[in-house]
Amino acid sequence: GIQVEQSPPDLILQEGANSTLRCNFSDSVNNLQWFHQNPWGQLINLFYIPSGTKQNGRLSATTVATERYSLLYISSSQTTDSGVYFCAVGTGANNLFFGTGTRLTVIP
């Protein structure tokens, strides 16, 4: 399967700070999603972004498919942003391969 690497593995931020999470993948994909897993275990879809740039409030994401990486930007972080952020990629109608995630802790 496709290899997905996320960095950093852990991140601690002061409330109000900005951060960038990175996802590298080993093969061409036509599906890339960013998910936030909250402390209750729910997987929330943040972006479906196989290429290009999208923004949703304080979050934005950019995928450069030709260079096989994607970035998730979090601005003005809040304590509710804490949790694990997963990047997941796939090809065609096949299953998604998940990275090992970035665990974000935002402290007040």
- Which residues contribute to the site for another protein (CB under 8 A)? 30-31, 33, 35, 41-43, 45, 48, 86, 88, 93-101
Q: How far is the CB of 13 from another protein (least distance, A)?
A: 21
Strand, helix or coil at 81?
helix
Nearer to another protein, 49 or 74 (CB): 49
Nearer to another protein, 38 or 76 (CB): 38
Q: How far is the CB of 17 from another protein (least distance, A)?
A: 25
Q: Which two tokens stand for residue 56?
A: 């949703």
Chain-centre distance for alpha carbon 92: 20
Nearer to another protein, 44 or 107 (CB): 44
Closest CA to 30 of 58, 63, 1, 8: 63
Strand, helix or coil at 65?
helix
